[in-house]
Structure 1
């Protein structure tokens, strides 16, 4: 752990003197001072008091602010503007880096699934998590599902009823808006309803061989504090639902901590995904590279395949573009 991150962790417990920090971190007092000045230059306004160094009341949205009190094994790289956080994370992967989160206030070249463009103005949550998970490439889709669960849970933590459309779109419940109970839809609670406007999307890229993943990048785009007028039709933002801006720093912290928790125990991913699913139990149309599958989505199986009961057979779809059908839809 670098000195800056260790200092941030130490300040989370309250005022700490320079000598105490130096002893705790095993560095010189000059190194502590240098780390403090570095944090200040990045906008993390560490205060000097009679009792020692104190973290700011509002850490702000940036690398030090996101890392402050973050209980997840990642370092953060922040940019005001970036073409694509996934592109940057891939470059870091090729240089040998891992366990890095690339965050941007705005993206100019964001991409969604199937190489679609992704609107990413200032105010959203645009990030990519780079890891080197000890899993085979066959199990990698579970990390995408884990990211979808993490984002849905973070949405619920700010009071927004959110669920997942297979495989990884996070949507607003159609019959309602904000919920006062962030546990709605978690295990032991009733799940939310059937689809609605899009809140977030996830794009995963990786490199590896059959038996192992060399690196994996999960890109997350959340319409957090974005004005809906800046978004495509069918999308909305957390701010629009809540009525007020959300704390993006806290939101990102929730996403990263939940993602780290789930990826450390992949057996927990599918049960959590099912519990937040908007797709299961409804009629769907899934466009794959070779066919169109229409039927009722009944389950999701390892490593993330959608099980669809058609009029003729049971089909397991591993990749495709899923559409929720209405009863009046002629495709249904």
Structure 2
């Protein structure tokens, strides 16, 4: 662990003096002072008291703030503005980096699946996680499922009841078939039927060969402290659902911690699949999935490794590995 990360870990345990820090970290007192000053310049306002150095009571949304108390093996690279956190993570991959979470306050050239536009202004949680998992390339979709679970858990941690629509959309507002919520007003906005309002999306990119992944980047975009009026139709934000601004640092940290825990199980898959099923709103619904070979319509009954949606159709069960999924009402089928 580098001096900076070790310093943040020590500060998480409470006030600690400069000499004690130097002894604990195995560095000089000058090195401790330099590391503290670097944190302050970053916006992480370490206070000097008679009891020693003290971390800020309300850590800011910055690299040090996200890393403070973080139980995940990622270094955080924070930028106020980037064209794309995924693009930056890919640059780092080409330089040989690993286990880095690239975070931006704003993205100016972000994109979703199939190069669709993704609105990413200041106030969201825009993060791309670069790892080098030791798994075959065929298992890469499991990391998308893991990221969806992690994102839902981060939303639920701040009391926003999110759920997953296959394969990689995170929604709020259940809009379940027959529950009477489709089209019913919700706080001045209509609940989008067929599954709810989109609050987050995921884009996974990788490079590798059949038997191994060279690098993998999972990009997650969460509409955190954004005005829904500035978002596309059928989208919402954590701010709107929570009734006020949310702690982005907490959202990002929970997402990273949960993703790290699940990604570590990708060689087995069962834990990721089970967690995904528990948080999915697609299973049990009538769906239409647009695939390269045409639409598949039926009832979604399961998800199988590494992420295929199992659909019970009039012609029997179909397994769909990629496509755009729409939740249907019975009348739409």
Q: State the TM-score, normalized to the length of structure 1.
A: 0.93
Q: Is the 8 A contact 1:84 1:108 kept in 2?
A: yes
**Which string of whole-angstrom CA distances, capped at 9 and with x for unpartnered residues, describes residues 56-111 of structure 1?**
11110000000000010000000111110000000000000010000011111111
SS, match of residue 71 in structure 1: coil
Partner of 1:199: 199
Partner of 1:33: 33
Q: Is the 8 A contact 2:170 2:200 kept in 1?
A: yes
2:263 and 2:34 mapped to 1: Cα distance? 35
Partner of 1:148: 148
Mapping of residues 90-105 of structure 1, within 5 Å: 90-105=90-105
Partner of 1:234: 234
- Superposition deviation, residue 194 in structure 1: 6.6
2:159 and 2:39 mapped to 1: Cα distance? 32
- Superposition deviation, residue 175 in structure 1: 4.9
Q: Is the 8 A contact 2:174 2:281 kept in 1?
A: no
- Superposition deviation, residue 160 in structure 1: 1.1
1:213 and 1:20 mapped to 2: Cα distance? 42
**Which string of whole-angstrom CA distances, capped at 9 and with x for unpartnered residues, describes residues 96-138 of structure 1?**
0010000011111111011101000111110100000111111
Q: Is the 8 A contact 2:194 2:328 kept in 1?
A: no
Partner of 1:189: none
From 298, 303, 321, the equivalent of 1:318 is: 321
Q: Which runs of 5+ in 1 are unaligned?
A: 177-192
Partner of 1:213: 213
Mapping of residues 38-77 of structure 1, within 5 Å: 38-77=38-77
1:233 and 1:30 mapped to 2: Cα distance? 54
How many residues get paired? Answer: 314
- Superposition deviation, residue 314 in structure 1: 1.1
SS, match of residue 134 in structure 2: coil
- Superposition deviation, residue 236 in structure 1: 0.4
Mapping of residues 215-294 of structure 1, within 5 Å: 215-266=215-266, 267-294=270-297
**Which string of whole-angstrom CA distances, capped at 9 and with x for unpartnered residues, describes residues 42-65 of structure 1?**
001001111111101111000000
- Superposition deviation, residue 157 in structure 1: 1.1
Partner of 2:20: 20
SS, match of residue 331 in structure 2: coil
- Superposition deviation, residue 249 in structure 1: 0.2
- Superposition deviation, residue 290 in structure 1: 2.2
Q: Is the 8 A contact 2:203 2:220 kept in 1?
A: yes
SS, match of residue 213 in structure 1: strand
1:289 and 1:95 mapped to 2: Cα distance? 35
Partner of 2:304: 301
2:24 and 2:206 mapped to 1: Cα distance? 38
Partner of 1:179: none
Partner of 1:86: 86
Q: Is the 8 A contact 1:307 1:316 kept in 2?
A: yes
1:173 and 1:233 mapped to 2: Cα distance? 14
SS, match of residue 270 in structure 1: helix
Between 261-270 and 301-310, the greater mean CA deviation after superposition: 261-270
SS, match of residue 80 in structure 1: strand
Partner of 2:157: 157
Instruction: Extract structure 1 runs of 4+ deviating beyond 3 A.
Output: none
- Superposition deviation, residue 328 in structure 1: 2.0
1:175 and 1:116 mapped to 2: Cα distance? 25
